[in-house]
Amino acid sequence: MKFFNLFFLISLSFSIAVAQKNTAFVDPFIGTEGEGHTFPGASFPFGMVKLGPDCEGHSNSGYISNGKIEGFSHTHVSGTGGGAKYGNILVRPFIGKSTDRVSATAFSDEVAEAGYYATTLDQDKIRAEMTVTENAGIHQYTFPKSNQSKILIDAGHHLFFGDQWGEAQQFVDSEIEVIGNNAVAGYSTVRHGWNFGGAYTVYFYAELSKPFIGFTTYKSGKESNKKVQFASKEKTQACLSFQTKEGEQIQLRVGISFLSTARAKHNLKSSLGELNFEQVKANAFNQWENILSKINIETKSEAEKTVFYTSLYHSYLMPVCREDENPKWKSEVKNYDDFYALWDTYRTSHPLMTILTPNRQVEMINSLLDIYKHEGYLPDARSGNDNGRTQGGSTADIVIADAFVKGLKGIDYELALEAMIKNAEVSPGGDERKEGRGGLSDYNTLGYVSTDFERSGSRTIEYSLCDYSIATLAKGLGKNDLYQKYLHRASNWENLWDENYDSEGYKGFIMPRKSNGEWHSDFILVNREADGGDTIRFNEFTTGYWEAFLYESSSWEYSLAIPHDVKTLIKKCGGEEILEKRLDTFFEKDYFLVSNEPGFFTPFLYTYMGKHHRTVDVVKGILDQEYTTARNGIPGNDDSGAMGAWFVFNAMGFYPNAGQDIYLISSPKYPSTTIELGEGKTFTVTKDHPERTYVKSAKLNGKPLNRAFLYHKEIIDGGLLELSMSKKPTQWGAEQLPPSLPKTNL
């Protein structure tokens, strides 16, 4: 155990030396109200264990602000929508008879920090604190004086939310065993949830700092004095009894595993060792500081730091790294799970990780390829060891192309191309919400997905972008035939462009089309019963979900979401002047949905037409108004940190066009931002007048920069981008426009 103690002492001394670390500005409560759905509990970066409160009524993160707490469970996701996932192995301290165990309680005096969560359970005045490692957690409960102090461990618990959409988790099995007088082990098997995944099993091994004086076990609520409640497809629990003095602390140290209870015990011993609560807490903090110290922003505003570092923090909660703990196959490749969903994260989170933690990004892509090798398809989303769901395109294609154009090494790109071509060519059939591309028979024959299939509009648009990614990789690997083939398909979005459709004087919209080629002007969207079952005649403002023509956005939004071929988009819209006006209308009339991914890139279209100042107007508006320190301070679901990463990029002053080797310069939020790139390299963005918005001129490493975009190499090799600011809009960036298909950088 010496290693851990030593490690801790080094970390701690470092922690004391530097006063205010970036991690100190993390506020995990941001996004826990409203639609953010962020997880406020304790986690490592990429942490497999996410220990936090589960509240009555349940939610995606388990947590409900001002709700009532049922207990603290060890597995969660952050920022997701739809049916909830995880919430396994719940622990609840309480006072009273064991039959009181089911009630939830109000809570107060909450504290949440990176790697730490604490609250007081009001009913019994028990202080509950918790911290974690990557695969274990410590609960520290401070009890009042009582001879009826209890700790309930519920192996049958899981989050149950989303049943109205058929997306709730389903209990499969559980088991619990009381071992000696100070340990409990068992597991919980659960299936489904948002991704409709198969059964996953979470094993635990829990040790108590104080022997219990009695125990009761339960199977389907039936009390027993049996030490073992073996697996029989029923919910099992163990309730441990203690006599406590006033203020007495009992710790529960819990190892978690996806393989076995013995492995959970090993994880407990190897990651917690002899470390005490404060040491583990400090270690978790330092793990976060390793990430968050990679970007330093210059600002005196604590609120600004809080928003920035919390956004960055959110981007590193998921995916989770499970090392070799994939129960489905043996592989030398590190296992990552909870890609939830790449559809959300390919645009911002993964490009951000590519800059800050490229080795992790390589590991994640290799894990995706390992999934392809063993299960036949790259996931578009994955959780609980199972692919699902695919919302639109096969967006792992874009993640891979992004890695390739940015020169990430250590990836088998030939295998990756094979996996991407599988997406493009082999229909997943009945599994079309699970993986691959649905409606492929249409897309690969008609050049678009017809209204015979659901989500035919957003699918067509996203498949085009995915095909562009395939073309990119094929070109890079010297496969010209494939390049030509998929570059051609990358224009397929045009096949759903109804040039005569007119909205508010603007012509040309992505609209529904029948398989016979006719426009489907009477297209009826039938909502599922769970959504009210209403029928709507589709128009340019209609949004919807799975059964819709466009997934989660309107045609106003999707028609402008062509990041790989802006040049053609401009032409289709009637030229730069008309598109500029159309964008103005789009943003001014709030047709833009700031809270959702399809619009992430739209503000940058101005830059493609030499109107950098208009991009800046829109981006600045979002940065200033939509992201705050409030508990509802995130627009929409945080989506595994995709929203947070959008903020981080734009606050730094540049934004990636995922799958391409370019970043669009916006307007940095702070006077100076520095990225630590390792090996002593840094990339710094400065602006000379902090209060000014527009860019007048720029210098990159001392040389004038007349373009409003950067190449990856210019960032990753280190350097200095100096922006000279103006109070008024400028023409900067108009001289050299960003590349766009077919004048691509391919």
* 291 alpha carbon, distance to own chain's centre: 16
Q: Which of 12, 259, 526, 734 binds a copy of itself (CB under 8 A)?
A: 259
Is the previous residue joined to 206 through a cis bond, with omega within 30 degrees of 0?
no
**DSSP assignment, residue 445?**
H
CB of 272 to a copy of itself, least distance (A): 16
Helix (H, G, I), strand (E, B) or coil at 81: coil
* 320 alpha carbon, distance to own chain's centre: 10
Q: Which of 441, 444, 724, 730 binds a copy of itself (CB under 8 A)?
A: 441
Sequence letter at residue 623: L
Helix (H, G, I), strand (E, B) or coil at 465: helix
Element (H, E) at 325: none
Q: Is 187 in the site for a copy of itself (CB under 8 A)?
A: yes
Q: Is 395 in the site for a copy of itself (CB under 8 A)?
A: no
Q: Which is nearer to a copy of itself, 12 or 199 (CB)?
A: 199
Q: What CA–CA distances, in Å, run from 441 to 156, 377, 449, 464, 522?
A: 43, 17, 8, 15, 23
Q: Which of 21, 253, 265, 294 binds a copy of itself (CB under 8 A)?
A: 265
Q: Give dist(CA 254, CA 204) in Å, integer.
A: 7
Piece in contact with a copy of itself (CB under 8 A), picked from 104-112, 186-194, 465-473, 577-585: 186-194
Piece in contact with a copy of itself (CB under 8 A), picked from 297-305, 326-334, 357-365, 568-576: 326-334
Q: Which is nearer to a copy of itself, 169 or 543 (CB)?
A: 169
Enumerate the β-bridge partners of residue 141. Answer: 128, 250
Q: Which of 427, 632, 693, 724 binds a copy of itself (CB under 8 A)?
A: 427
Q: Which is nearer to a copy of itself, 344 or 386 (CB)?
A: 386
Helix (H, G, I), strand (E, B) or coil at 491: coil
Q: Which of 34, 144, 327, 678 binds a copy of itself (CB under 8 A)?
A: 327
Q: Is 324 in the site for a copy of itself (CB under 8 A)?
A: yes
CB of 146 to a copy of itself, least distance (A): 32
Within residues 342-361, the interface with a copy of itself by CB under 8 A covers none
Per-residue x/- mask for a copy of itself, residues 151 to 180, rule CB under 8 A? -------------------xxxx-x-x---
CB of 186 to a copy of itself, least distance (A): 9
CB of 520 to a copy of itself, least distance (A): 22
Q: Give dist(CA 356, CA 741) in Å, integer.
A: 28
Piece in contact with a copy of itself (CB under 8 A), picked from 107-115, 278-286, 320-328, 391-399: 320-328
Length of the chain, please? 746
CB of 536 to a copy of itself, least distance (A): 26
CB of 428 to a copy of itself, least distance (A): 4
Q: H/E/C letters for each residue in 614-668?
A: HHHHHHHHHHHHHCCCCCCCCCCCCCCCHHHHHHHHHHHCEEECCCCCEEEECCC
Q: Is 266 in the site for a copy of itself (CB under 8 A)?
A: yes
Q: Which of 9, 262, 524, 530 binds a copy of itself (CB under 8 A)?
A: 262
Within residues 364-383, the interface with a copy of itself by CB under 8 A covers 376-377
Per-residue x/- mask for a copy of itself, residues 194 to 213, rule CB under 8 A? ----xx-x------------
CB of 396 to a copy of itself, least distance (A): 15
Q: Give dist(CA 682, CA 359) in Å, integer.
A: 17
Q: Which is nearer to a copy of itself, 49 or 408 (CB)?
A: 49
Whether residue 589 contacts residue 634, with contact meaning beta carbons closer than 8 Å, is answered with: no
Q: Which of 2, 300, 330, 409 binds a copy of itself (CB under 8 A)?
A: 330
Q: How many Cβ atoms sit within 10 Å of the Cβ of residue 649? A: 25
Q: Which is nearer to a copy of itself, 228 or 526 (CB)?
A: 228
Q: Is 603 in the site for a copy of itself (CB under 8 A)?
A: no
Whether residue 450 contacts residue 640, with contact meaning beta carbons closer than 8 Å, is answered with: no
Interior angle at CA 635, CA 353 and CA 27, nearest 5: 65
Q: Is 428 in the site for a copy of itself (CB under 8 A)?
A: yes
Listed in sequence order, the residues at least 6 apart from 615 whose beta carbon sits closer than 8 Å to its beta carbon are: 603, 604, 605, 606, 607, 664, 666, 708
Q: Is 429 in the site for a copy of itself (CB under 8 A)?
A: yes
Q: H/E/C letters for each residue in 669-701?
A: CCCEEEEEEECCEEEEEEECCCCCCEEEEEEEC
Q: Is 224 in the site for a copy of itself (CB under 8 A)?
A: no
Nearest to 63 by CA among 82, 78, 47, 48: 78
Positive/negative CA dihedral, 223, 226, 231, 236: positive
Q: Which of 28, 351, 436, 544 binds a copy of itself (CB under 8 A)?
A: 436
Q: Is 444 in the site for a copy of itself (CB under 8 A)?
A: no
Whether residue 694 contacts residue 729, with contact meaning beta carbons closer than 8 Å, is answered with: yes
Angle formed by the axes of helices 413-425 and 456-476, nearest 10°: 150
Whether residue 195 contacts residue 381, with contact meaning beta carbons closer than 8 Å, is answered with: yes
# of chain residues touching a copy of itself (CB under 8 A): 41
Q: Which of 142, 189, 383, 456 binds a copy of itself (CB under 8 A)?
A: 189
Q: Which is nearer to a copy of itself, 322 or 513 (CB)?
A: 322
Q: Is 231 in the site for a copy of itself (CB under 8 A)?
A: yes
Tokens, residue 110: 């909450």
CB of 463 to a copy of itself, least distance (A): 15
Chain contacts with a copy of itself (rule: CB under 8 A): 170-173, 175, 177, 187, 189, 191, 198-199, 201, 228, 230-233, 257, 259-260, 262-263, 265-266, 324, 327-330, 376-377, 422, 426-432, 436, 441
